Amino acid sequence: MDTRRLERTGSFEWRIAPFGDMRVPAVIFADEGLIQGMDEKVFEQITNVARLPGIVKAAYAMPDAHWGYGFPIGGVAAFDPEAGGVVSAGGVGFDISCGVRCMPSGLGRAAIEARQAELADALFAEIPAGVGSHGEITLSDEETTAMLSGGAAWALSRGYGREADLERIEERGCMPGASPEVVSERARRRQRREMGTLGSGNHYLEVQEVTAVHDAKAAAAFGLEPGEVVVSIHCGSRGLGHQIGTEFLRDMVLAAPDHDIALVDRELACAPIRSKLGERYLGAMRAAINCALANRQIIGHLTRKVFRRFFPEADLPLLFDVSHNTCKAERHRTDGQRREVYVHRKGATRAFGPDHPSLPAGLRTVGQPVLIGGTMGTASYVLVGAAGNERRGFSSACHGAGRRMSRHQARRTWRGRALVDELAARGIAIRSPSDRGVAEEAPGAYKDVVEVVEAAEMAGLARRVARLEPIICIKG
């Protein structure tokens, strides 16, 4: 990205002043190296977001920002429903509520390495991964409705997980306001056998070691210790979320003239929050959030089941489960007063700071855990929401390293089998149903996650708590 078009307002903050029909400025959080490495589409997309009706304060891009569908990945924007604010399916994304959960094991690396291959094989066998992967669960239409209403709480009622898990999941595991009745039959059908599956793309289950602690107080509150092994699970709402996104994007494009919305980009199709279409989308999206929360809850249960087989002493409590790709009604201060706005986070994560009332008692004095995924062979991080970050992007943070190369480019550059062998030589066991998928997710196809999280910390979005290094990676 050409920095001459940006005003540097801080060491890790850049501003694009409104031009044309932009309603608010755009703000990018990054150092100069990350800015220069961002594709020009980030500039185009974030300034297009700033043109949408009812947007408040600014359109934000996180340090991992890169080109996406409509919104850039790493885009954050809030809309005031009382000022004609809109909800955009492209501003949420197709993999609705894609997110990460993390579970400390209490085990050390040596215990895992002693049974690494067996454990990797067992996890790969128990938790289906890959395009169109199906699990052992088949839902009736009635059970699908219950799942879309109940989220992780539904999964718990069916024997997946523990009551204590709900305290450590966004929305206590169930997103209110879901409308299962507006989810199409095709979306329901796509999900009928996909519960408890990882899917493909950048989704994964990783067994990781805590190799560094950056904030001892927060690490203690999170139950993380140097040398401890944790399990991180990254997945979302699978085919159901994708179908909802596809259908409502089409409906929003067709309905835009009826709402006097001139679309600068069809991928930014949207509808007023206070419209029948906007309300229908929000109801379907919330149902998809519940689907993702239920899916990660089931996978967490299956992971514990496998670990108990090898390590009966391993408990694997849930540290936290946080979503990306959502639009949520939250109260934030804008124009000198606190009001309800609808915050889109596309490839970004909520990152509430200390004392936020939505956090469980055990985390409230510290702040919300922010789970940042790397890619195969690179580090992941646990961060914590920074105090005072509400005014910087509505208490949001980056969600991962961010791609620097398309999947097509990655396939042309790397071979999956060679990558598996290379990572095995470094002590990392990869299990995947697709060599092509491994190539697409090559570590070199992503930005430097260390640089990204350092930028997030220096920008005041979230603080580093712990660094995690992979030992086993189950890849979709």
Number of neighbouring beta carbons within 10 Å of residue 444: 13
State what percent of residues in the chain have pLDDT above 90: 87
Span 356-392, pLDDT tens digits: 999 998 999 999 999 999 888 899 999 999 999 998 8
Predicted confidence at residue 434, as pLDDT, reads: 86
476 CA to centre of own chain: 16
Q: Who has greater pLDDT, 307 or 415?
A: 307
332 given a catalytic annotation: no
For the chain, the structural domain boundaries read 3-475
C-alpha dist (Å) from residue 130 to 89, 174, 199: 25, 26, 5
pLDDT at 148: 98
At 431, the pLDDT band (50, 70, 90 cuts) reads very high
Q: Kindly calculate the radius of gyration of the chain based on its CA atoms and give it in whole angstroms.
A: 21
The percent of residues above 70 in pLDDT, for the chain, comes to 100
Q: Examine the pLDDT at 130 and tell me if it is beyond 80.
A: no
Query: Of the candidates 374, 472, 382, which has an alpha carbon nearest to the alpha carbon of residue 429?
Result: 472
At 128, the pLDDT band (50, 70, 90 cuts) reads confident
pLDDT, tens digit (0-9, with 9 covering 90-100), for 242-274: 999 999 999 999 999 999 999 999 999 999 999
- pLDDT band at residue 297 under the 50/70/90 scheme: very high
The CA distance from 450 to 203, in Å, is 20
Q: Which residues pair with 270 in a beta bridge?
A: 88
Q: Choosing from 66, 203, 324, 399, which is the catalytic residue? A: 399
DSSP 8-state code for residue 277:
H
Is residue 336 over pLDDT 90?
Answer: no
Q: Rounded to 5 degrees, what are φ and ψ at 50?
A: -65, -10
Q: Return the CATH architecture of domain 3-475.
A: Alpha-Beta Complex (3.90)
Q: Which of 124-133, 300-309, 392-401 has the lowest mean pLDDT?
A: 124-133
Measured CA to CA, the distance from residue 210 to residue 229 in angstroms comes to 6
pLDDT of residue 404: 84
**CA–CA separation, 101 and 161 (whole Å):** 13
Question: Rounded to an integer, what distance in angstroms lies between the CA atom of residue 408 and that of residue 169?
Answer: 35
Q: What is the mean pLDDT of the chain?
A: 95
77, 396 contact by CB (below 8 A): no
pLDDT in tens, 57-86: 999 999 999 999 999 999 999 999 999 999
Average pLDDT value for residue range 26-47? 96
The distance from CA 422 to its chain's CA centroid, rounded to whole angstroms, is 28
| pLDDT band for position 405 (cuts 50, 70, 90) | confident
- How many residues comprise the chain? 476
